[in-house]
Structure 1
Amino acid sequence: MKKLLAAASMAMLIATPAFAQMPGAPDASRIAAATYKVDGHHTQVVWSLNHMGFSILYGMFGEMIGSLTLDPANPSAAKVVIDIPMSGSTTTSPAFTKHLASKDLFEVEKFPTAKFVSTSVVVDGQTAKITGDLTLKGVTKPVVLDAKLTGAGTNPMSKAATVGFEATAKIKRSEFGLGYALPVVGDDVDLKITAAFEK
Protein backbone atom coordinates (compact mmCIF):
# COMPACT_ATOMS: atom_id res chain seq x y z
CA MET A 1 0.00 0.00 0.00
CA LYS A 2 2.82 2.42 0.89
CA LYS A 3 4.51 1.69 -2.44
CA LEU A 4 1.22 2.37 -4.26
CA LEU A 5 0.76 5.72 -2.50
CA ALA A 6 4.35 6.70 -3.20
CA ALA A 7 3.96 5.83 -6.88
CA ALA A 8 0.71 7.79 -7.11
CA SER A 9 2.30 10.83 -5.46
CA MET A 10 5.25 10.69 -7.85
CA ALA A 11 2.93 10.43 -10.83
CA MET A 12 1.06 13.54 -9.70
CA LEU A 13 4.29 15.50 -9.36
CA ILE A 14 5.48 14.44 -12.80
CA ALA A 15 2.12 15.27 -14.37
CA THR A 16 2.10 18.87 -13.11
CA PRO A 17 5.45 20.47 -13.95
CA ALA A 18 3.78 23.82 -14.72
CA PHE A 19 3.06 24.29 -11.01
CA ALA A 20 6.62 23.81 -9.79
CA GLN A 21 6.73 27.44 -8.68
CA MET A 22 4.32 30.30 -8.15
CA PRO A 23 3.78 32.15 -11.43
CA GLY A 24 3.00 35.48 -9.78
CA ALA A 25 5.55 37.74 -8.08
CA PRO A 26 5.33 41.21 -6.50
CA ASP A 27 7.21 42.85 -9.36
CA ALA A 28 5.59 45.93 -10.90
CA SER A 29 7.70 45.57 -14.06
CA ARG A 30 5.58 42.50 -14.93
CA ILE A 31 2.42 44.61 -15.20
CA ALA A 32 1.24 45.42 -18.72
CA ALA A 33 -0.80 48.54 -19.46
CA ALA A 34 -4.38 47.37 -19.93
CA THR A 35 -7.87 47.25 -18.54
CA TYR A 36 -8.23 44.11 -16.44
CA LYS A 37 -11.42 42.37 -15.34
CA VAL A 38 -12.03 41.17 -11.79
CA ASP A 39 -11.41 37.47 -11.27
CA GLY A 40 -14.51 36.91 -9.16
CA HIS A 41 -13.40 33.47 -8.02
CA HIS A 42 -10.28 34.86 -6.35
CA THR A 43 -11.48 38.21 -5.05
CA GLN A 44 -12.94 38.64 -1.58
CA VAL A 45 -13.71 41.36 0.95
CA VAL A 46 -13.49 40.16 4.55
CA TRP A 47 -15.03 42.40 7.20
CA SER A 48 -14.77 42.25 10.98
CA LEU A 49 -16.16 44.15 13.95
CA ASN A 50 -16.30 43.89 17.72
CA HIS A 51 -19.28 41.96 19.11
CA MET A 52 -20.22 43.26 22.57
CA GLY A 53 -16.60 43.34 23.68
CA PHE A 54 -16.53 39.54 23.80
CA SER A 55 -15.50 38.44 20.32
CA ILE A 56 -14.73 39.59 16.79
CA LEU A 57 -17.34 38.85 14.14
CA TYR A 58 -16.18 38.04 10.62
CA GLY A 59 -18.01 37.96 7.32
CA MET A 60 -17.12 37.91 3.65
CA PHE A 61 -18.32 39.22 0.31
CA GLY A 62 -17.52 37.45 -2.95
CA GLU A 63 -18.70 37.11 -6.55
CA MET A 64 -17.57 40.64 -7.40
CA ILE A 65 -17.44 42.10 -10.88
CA GLY A 66 -15.58 45.15 -12.14
CA SER A 67 -12.43 46.43 -13.75
CA LEU A 68 -8.99 47.86 -13.08
CA THR A 69 -7.28 50.13 -15.60
CA LEU A 70 -3.50 50.26 -15.15
CA ASP A 71 -0.62 51.93 -16.93
CA PRO A 72 2.78 51.36 -15.26
CA ALA A 73 4.05 54.50 -16.99
CA ASN A 74 1.34 56.56 -15.27
CA PRO A 75 0.29 54.68 -12.11
CA SER A 76 -1.57 57.63 -10.59
CA ALA A 77 -4.05 57.40 -13.49
CA ALA A 78 -5.18 53.92 -12.38
CA LYS A 79 -8.93 53.43 -12.09
CA VAL A 80 -10.84 50.81 -10.12
CA VAL A 81 -14.58 50.11 -10.40
CA ILE A 82 -16.02 47.24 -8.36
CA ASP A 83 -19.61 46.04 -7.95
CA ILE A 84 -20.27 43.93 -4.85
CA PRO A 85 -23.41 41.74 -4.96
CA MET A 86 -24.81 41.90 -1.44
CA SER A 87 -26.38 38.48 -1.93
CA GLY A 88 -22.81 37.15 -1.95
CA SER A 89 -22.39 37.98 1.75
CA THR A 90 -21.64 35.01 3.97
CA THR A 91 -20.70 34.20 7.57
CA THR A 92 -20.14 31.01 9.55
CA SER A 93 -23.74 31.20 10.84
CA PRO A 94 -26.63 30.72 8.38
CA ALA A 95 -28.97 32.55 10.78
CA PHE A 96 -26.62 35.53 11.01
CA THR A 97 -26.11 35.57 7.24
CA LYS A 98 -29.89 35.70 6.81
CA HIS A 99 -30.18 38.52 9.36
CA LEU A 100 -27.53 40.55 7.52
CA ALA A 101 -29.72 40.48 4.41
CA SER A 102 -32.78 41.75 6.30
CA LYS A 103 -34.13 45.30 6.72
CA ASP A 104 -32.22 45.57 10.00
CA LEU A 105 -28.93 45.63 8.13
CA PHE A 106 -28.06 45.36 4.42
CA GLU A 107 -31.69 45.23 3.19
CA VAL A 108 -30.53 43.26 0.17
CA GLU A 109 -33.88 43.23 -1.66
CA LYS A 110 -33.87 47.04 -1.86
CA PHE A 111 -30.09 47.52 -2.15
CA PRO A 112 -28.75 44.47 -4.01
CA THR A 113 -25.36 45.94 -4.92
CA ALA A 114 -22.62 47.96 -3.23
CA LYS A 115 -20.13 49.83 -5.38
CA PHE A 116 -16.61 51.22 -5.09
CA VAL A 117 -15.27 53.73 -7.63
CA SER A 118 -11.77 55.09 -7.20
CA THR A 119 -11.23 58.85 -7.43
CA SER A 120 -7.46 59.06 -6.90
CA VAL A 121 -4.44 56.79 -6.60
CA VAL A 122 -1.16 57.74 -4.95
CA VAL A 123 1.57 55.17 -5.61
CA ASP A 124 4.70 54.69 -3.50
CA GLY A 125 6.78 51.81 -4.83
CA GLN A 126 4.63 48.67 -4.58
CA THR A 127 2.08 50.25 -2.24
CA ALA A 128 -0.66 52.76 -2.93
CA LYS A 129 -3.36 54.79 -1.27
CA ILE A 130 -6.54 54.42 -3.26
CA THR A 131 -9.23 56.97 -2.44
CA GLY A 132 -12.70 56.28 -3.73
CA ASP A 133 -16.43 56.48 -3.20
CA LEU A 134 -18.11 53.52 -1.52
CA THR A 135 -21.86 53.26 -2.02
CA LEU A 136 -23.53 50.95 0.48
CA LYS A 137 -27.24 50.77 1.24
CA GLY A 138 -27.81 53.84 -0.93
CA VAL A 139 -25.27 56.00 0.94
CA THR A 140 -22.02 57.16 -0.68
CA LYS A 141 -18.98 58.02 1.45
CA PRO A 142 -15.26 58.44 0.71
CA VAL A 143 -13.02 55.54 1.71
CA VAL A 144 -9.24 55.18 1.59
CA LEU A 145 -7.71 51.79 0.78
CA ASP A 146 -4.13 51.04 1.78
CA ALA A 147 -3.10 48.69 -1.01
CA LYS A 148 -0.05 46.68 -1.99
CA LEU A 149 0.89 44.55 -4.97
CA THR A 150 0.59 40.83 -4.20
CA GLY A 151 1.81 39.58 -7.55
CA ALA A 152 1.82 39.88 -11.32
CA GLY A 153 2.41 37.33 -14.04
CA THR A 154 0.62 34.85 -16.28
CA ASN A 155 -1.97 32.55 -14.76
CA PRO A 156 -1.06 29.01 -15.94
CA MET A 157 -4.69 27.90 -15.73
CA SER A 158 -6.38 30.70 -17.68
CA LYS A 159 -3.24 31.75 -19.63
CA ALA A 160 -4.24 35.34 -18.84
CA ALA A 161 -1.99 38.15 -17.67
CA THR A 162 -2.96 38.60 -14.04
CA VAL A 163 -2.32 41.13 -11.29
CA GLY A 164 -3.27 40.78 -7.64
CA PHE A 165 -3.50 43.22 -4.77
CA GLU A 166 -4.24 43.25 -1.06
CA ALA A 167 -5.80 46.22 0.69
CA THR A 168 -7.16 47.29 4.05
CA ALA A 169 -9.63 49.99 5.07
CA LYS A 170 -11.83 51.02 7.96
CA ILE A 171 -15.38 52.37 7.86
CA LYS A 172 -18.07 53.27 10.38
CA ARG A 173 -21.19 51.25 9.65
CA SER A 174 -23.44 53.92 11.19
CA GLU A 175 -22.46 56.28 8.35
CA PHE A 176 -24.07 53.86 5.88
CA GLY A 177 -27.38 53.43 7.70
CA LEU A 178 -26.22 50.25 9.42
CA GLY A 179 -26.77 51.32 13.02
CA TYR A 180 -28.49 48.15 14.23
CA ALA A 181 -27.45 47.19 17.81
CA LEU A 182 -25.20 50.21 18.34
CA PRO A 183 -23.38 50.76 20.65
CA VAL A 184 -23.56 47.21 22.01
CA VAL A 185 -22.00 45.96 18.78
CA GLY A 186 -19.07 47.98 17.44
CA ASP A 187 -19.37 50.75 14.88
CA ASP A 188 -15.87 50.42 13.39
CA VAL A 189 -15.65 47.83 10.62
CA ASP A 190 -12.25 46.65 9.41
CA LEU A 191 -12.05 45.60 5.77
CA LYS A 192 -9.43 43.30 4.31
CA ILE A 193 -9.49 42.88 0.55
CA THR A 194 -7.71 40.46 -1.70
CA ALA A 195 -8.30 40.96 -5.40
CA ALA A 196 -7.15 39.39 -8.65
CA PHE A 197 -7.62 40.94 -12.08
CA GLU A 198 -7.16 39.27 -15.46
CA LYS A 199 -6.40 40.81 -18.85
Structure 2
Amino acid sequence: MQRRKLLACLSAAVLAPQGLRAAPLAYQLMPEATDVRFTFLLSGQPQQGRLPVTKARIRIDPANLARSQADITLDARRARTGLIFATEALKSAGVLDTARHPQIRFRSTRVRLGPDGRISDGAAIEGDLTLRGTTRPLILQAALYRRPGSAPDDLSELDVQLTGQLSRAAFGATGYGELVADRVRLAIKARIRRAG
Protein backbone atom coordinates (compact mmCIF):
# COMPACT_ATOMS: atom_id res chain seq x y z
CA MET A 1 0.00 0.00 0.00
CA GLN A 2 2.79 2.43 0.97
CA ARG A 3 4.69 1.57 -2.18
CA ARG A 4 1.60 2.32 -4.32
CA LYS A 5 1.17 5.71 -2.62
CA LEU A 6 4.86 6.52 -3.11
CA LEU A 7 4.66 5.67 -6.82
CA ALA A 8 1.52 7.79 -7.20
CA CYS A 9 3.20 10.77 -5.50
CA LEU A 10 6.35 10.43 -7.64
CA SER A 11 4.28 10.18 -10.82
CA ALA A 12 2.31 13.28 -9.87
CA ALA A 13 5.50 15.20 -9.10
CA VAL A 14 7.08 14.27 -12.43
CA LEU A 15 3.97 15.01 -14.48
CA ALA A 16 2.86 18.17 -12.67
CA PRO A 17 5.22 20.70 -14.33
CA GLN A 18 4.18 19.57 -17.80
CA GLY A 19 0.49 19.53 -16.91
CA LEU A 20 0.63 22.98 -15.33
CA ARG A 21 2.62 24.62 -18.10
CA ALA A 22 0.34 27.15 -19.74
CA ALA A 23 -0.18 27.14 -23.49
CA PRO A 24 1.10 30.14 -25.49
CA LEU A 25 -1.43 32.98 -25.77
CA ALA A 26 -3.10 33.60 -29.13
CA TYR A 27 -2.85 37.09 -30.62
CA GLN A 28 -4.58 38.77 -33.57
CA LEU A 29 -2.84 41.14 -35.93
CA MET A 30 -4.34 44.65 -36.02
CA PRO A 31 -4.24 45.50 -39.77
CA GLU A 32 -4.73 49.26 -39.27
CA ALA A 33 -1.55 49.39 -37.16
CA THR A 34 0.55 47.03 -39.30
CA ASP A 35 3.00 48.03 -42.02
CA VAL A 36 5.14 45.55 -44.02
CA ARG A 37 7.73 47.45 -46.06
CA PHE A 38 10.58 46.42 -48.31
CA THR A 39 13.38 48.57 -49.70
CA PHE A 40 15.29 47.83 -52.90
CA LEU A 41 17.77 49.70 -55.09
CA LEU A 42 16.50 50.68 -58.55
CA SER A 43 19.32 52.06 -60.72
CA GLY A 44 21.20 52.69 -57.46
CA GLN A 45 18.37 54.69 -55.87
CA PRO A 46 16.42 53.33 -52.86
CA GLN A 47 12.76 52.61 -53.50
CA GLN A 48 10.15 51.39 -51.05
CA GLY A 49 7.23 49.05 -51.39
CA ARG A 50 4.50 47.55 -49.24
CA LEU A 51 2.85 44.17 -48.89
CA PRO A 52 -0.49 43.57 -47.12
CA VAL A 53 -0.90 40.74 -44.60
CA THR A 54 -3.76 38.36 -45.41
CA LYS A 55 -3.42 35.90 -42.55
CA ALA A 56 -1.51 35.78 -39.27
CA ARG A 57 -1.26 33.11 -36.58
CA ILE A 58 0.70 34.47 -33.61
CA ARG A 59 1.32 32.77 -30.26
CA ILE A 60 3.24 34.40 -27.40
CA ASP A 61 4.30 32.45 -24.33
CA PRO A 62 4.99 35.00 -21.55
CA ALA A 63 6.39 32.27 -19.28
CA ASN A 64 8.82 31.01 -21.93
CA LEU A 65 9.24 33.56 -24.74
CA ALA A 66 11.43 31.19 -26.76
CA ARG A 67 8.29 29.04 -27.33
CA SER A 68 6.50 31.90 -29.12
CA GLN A 69 5.49 31.33 -32.76
CA ALA A 70 4.42 33.24 -35.85
CA ASP A 71 2.96 32.14 -39.18
CA ILE A 72 2.31 35.07 -41.52
CA THR A 73 0.90 35.12 -45.07
CA LEU A 74 1.27 38.15 -47.36
CA ASP A 75 -0.65 38.94 -50.54
CA ALA A 76 1.98 39.25 -53.28
CA ARG A 77 -0.70 40.28 -55.82
CA ARG A 78 -1.32 43.49 -53.86
CA ALA A 79 2.35 44.45 -53.53
CA ARG A 80 2.91 48.15 -54.25
CA THR A 81 5.83 50.49 -54.84
CA GLY A 82 5.81 54.24 -55.36
CA LEU A 83 6.26 53.76 -59.13
CA ILE A 84 3.59 52.10 -61.27
CA PHE A 85 6.12 50.57 -63.70
CA ALA A 86 8.17 49.20 -60.79
CA THR A 87 5.01 47.70 -59.27
CA GLU A 88 4.14 45.95 -62.54
CA ALA A 89 7.72 44.68 -62.91
CA LEU A 90 7.62 43.45 -59.30
CA LYS A 91 4.58 41.27 -60.02
CA SER A 92 5.98 39.92 -63.29
CA ALA A 93 7.09 36.34 -63.95
CA GLY A 94 10.75 37.33 -63.50
CA VAL A 95 10.31 38.68 -59.98
CA LEU A 96 7.39 37.69 -57.69
CA ASP A 97 5.48 35.83 -60.41
CA THR A 98 2.19 36.61 -58.68
CA ALA A 99 0.11 34.84 -61.33
CA ARG A 100 1.61 31.50 -60.23
CA HIS A 101 2.60 32.39 -56.64
CA PRO A 102 0.05 34.81 -55.17
CA GLN A 103 1.20 34.38 -51.57
CA ILE A 104 4.38 34.88 -49.57
CA ARG A 105 4.61 33.02 -46.26
CA PHE A 106 6.91 33.27 -43.25
CA ARG A 107 6.76 30.57 -40.59
CA SER A 108 8.94 30.90 -37.51
CA THR A 109 11.01 27.90 -36.47
CA ARG A 110 12.97 29.33 -33.53
CA VAL A 111 13.00 32.40 -31.30
CA ARG A 112 16.43 33.48 -30.02
CA LEU A 113 16.04 35.78 -27.05
CA GLY A 114 18.24 38.82 -26.44
CA PRO A 115 20.94 38.83 -23.72
CA ASP A 116 18.37 40.03 -21.16
CA GLY A 117 16.03 37.10 -21.94
CA ARG A 118 13.46 39.16 -23.85
CA ILE A 119 12.26 39.44 -27.44
CA SER A 120 14.13 42.73 -27.89
CA ASP A 121 17.66 44.11 -27.69
CA GLY A 122 19.42 41.48 -29.77
CA ALA A 123 16.59 38.95 -30.16
CA ALA A 124 15.97 37.21 -33.47
CA ILE A 125 13.24 35.12 -35.04
CA GLU A 126 14.46 32.38 -37.34
CA GLY A 127 12.06 30.92 -39.83
CA ASP A 128 11.29 29.71 -43.32
CA LEU A 129 10.25 32.18 -46.01
CA THR A 130 8.36 30.81 -49.01
CA LEU A 131 8.55 33.12 -52.04
CA ARG A 132 7.81 32.08 -55.66
CA GLY A 133 7.30 28.52 -54.38
CA THR A 134 10.85 28.36 -53.01
CA THR A 135 11.45 28.05 -49.28
CA ARG A 136 14.65 29.38 -47.70
CA PRO A 137 15.68 30.22 -44.11
CA LEU A 138 15.33 33.84 -43.03
CA ILE A 139 16.44 35.56 -39.82
CA LEU A 140 14.62 38.66 -38.63
CA GLN A 141 15.89 40.92 -35.86
CA ALA A 142 12.99 41.24 -33.44
CA ALA A 143 11.60 43.54 -30.78
CA LEU A 144 8.37 43.05 -28.84
CA TYR A 145 7.11 45.82 -26.53
CA ARG A 146 4.16 46.58 -24.31
CA ARG A 147 2.14 49.62 -25.37
CA PRO A 148 3.39 52.93 -23.88
CA GLY A 149 1.63 53.70 -20.61
CA SER A 150 0.39 50.13 -20.09
CA ALA A 151 0.82 48.30 -16.78
CA PRO A 152 3.85 45.99 -16.44
CA ASP A 153 1.63 42.90 -16.54
CA ASP A 154 -0.69 44.18 -19.30
CA LEU A 155 -0.01 42.02 -22.35
CA SER A 156 -3.34 42.71 -24.06
CA GLU A 157 -1.72 44.75 -26.88
CA LEU A 158 1.90 44.54 -27.99
CA ASP A 159 4.00 46.34 -30.60
CA VAL A 160 6.29 44.28 -32.83
CA GLN A 161 9.24 45.45 -34.90
CA LEU A 162 11.10 43.13 -37.28
CA THR A 163 13.96 43.88 -39.65
CA GLY A 164 16.02 41.76 -42.00
CA GLN A 165 17.19 41.31 -45.56
CA LEU A 166 17.11 38.71 -48.26
CA SER A 167 18.64 37.87 -51.61
CA ARG A 168 15.96 37.82 -54.29
CA ALA A 169 18.17 35.57 -56.43
CA ALA A 170 18.01 32.91 -53.69
CA PHE A 171 14.29 32.63 -54.48
CA GLY A 172 14.68 32.78 -58.27
CA ALA A 173 13.40 36.38 -58.48
CA THR A 174 16.22 37.49 -60.80
CA GLY A 175 14.24 39.59 -63.28
CA TYR A 176 15.48 43.11 -64.13
CA GLY A 177 18.88 42.31 -62.60
CA GLU A 178 20.52 45.09 -64.65
CA LEU A 179 18.29 47.67 -62.92
CA VAL A 180 17.43 46.21 -59.50
CA ALA A 181 19.98 45.13 -56.87
CA ASP A 182 19.80 41.64 -55.41
CA ARG A 183 19.49 42.61 -51.71
CA VAL A 184 16.06 43.57 -50.39
CA ARG A 185 15.66 45.01 -46.91
CA LEU A 186 12.59 44.30 -44.81
CA ALA A 187 11.05 46.49 -42.09
CA ILE A 188 7.87 45.36 -40.37
CA LYS A 189 5.92 47.23 -37.72
CA ALA A 190 2.85 45.57 -36.31
CA ARG A 191 0.46 45.74 -33.40
CA ILE A 192 -1.05 42.57 -32.02
CA ARG A 193 -3.98 42.14 -29.65
CA ARG A 194 -4.72 39.22 -27.34
CA ALA A 195 -7.38 37.04 -28.93
CA GLY A 196 -10.58 36.32 -27.03
Q: Judge same fold: TM > 0.5, yes or no.
A: yes
Which has the larger Rg?
2
Task: Show the counterpart of 2:51.
Answer: 61
Would you say the 8 A contact 1:165–1:194 is kept in 2?
Answer: yes
1:169 to 142, 155, 164: 164
Task: Show the counterpart of 2:36.
Answer: 45
TM-score (norm 2): 0.76
1:190 to 178, 181, 185: 185
RMSD: 2.3
Would you say the 8 A contact 1:52–1:184 is kept in 2?
Answer: yes
2:137 to 137, 142, 146: 142
Task: Show the counterpart of 1:75.
Answer: 65
Would you say the 8 A contact 2:65–2:119 is kept in 1?
Answer: no
Task: Show the counterpart of 1:100.
Answer: 90
Deviations 1:120-157 (A, max 9, x none): 001123412100000001000000010112434899xx
Q: Shift of the alpha carbon at 1:163?
A: 1.4
Task: Show the counterpart of 1:121.
Answer: 111
Q: Shift of the alpha carbon at 1:96?
A: 2.1
Q: Which range moves more in the overlay, 38-47 or 188-197?
A: 38-47
One-letter code aligned to 2:146: G
Q: Shift of the alpha carbon at 1:59?
A: 0.6
Q: Which range moves more in the overlay, 113-122 or 89-98?
A: 89-98
1:90 to 80, 92, 95: 80
The reply to whether residue 36 of structure 1 matches residue 31 of structure 2 is no
Deviations 1:61-80 (A, max 9, x none): 12332121011111000010
Aligned-partner Cα distance in 1 for 2:119–2:133: 33
Instruction: Describe the SS at the equivalent of 2:87.
Output: helix
Would you say the 8 A contact 1:59–1:90 is kept in 2?
Answer: yes
Aligned-partner Cα distance in 1 for 2:98–2:59: 29
Q: Shift of the alpha carbon at 1:56?
A: 0.6
Q: Which range moves more in the overlay, 129-138 or 81-90?
A: 81-90
The alignment of Structure 1 onto Structure 2 pairs a total of residues equal to 163
Would you say the 8 A contact 1:147–1:166 is kept in 2?
Answer: yes
One-letter code aligned to 1:129: A
The reply to whether residue 178 of structure 1 matches residue 173 of structure 2 is yes
Aligned-partner Cα distance in 2 for 1:37–1:51: 35
Cα distance 1:198–1:162, how it changes in 2: closer, same or farther (>3 A)? same
Instruction: Describe the SS at the equivalent of 2:130.
Output: strand
Gapped runs of 5+ residues in structure 2? 1-23
Instruction: Describe the SS at the equivalent of 2:98.
Output: coil
Cα distance 1:102–1:184, how it changes in 2: closer, same or farther (>3 A)? closer
Aligned-partner Cα distance in 2 for 1:112–1:63: 12
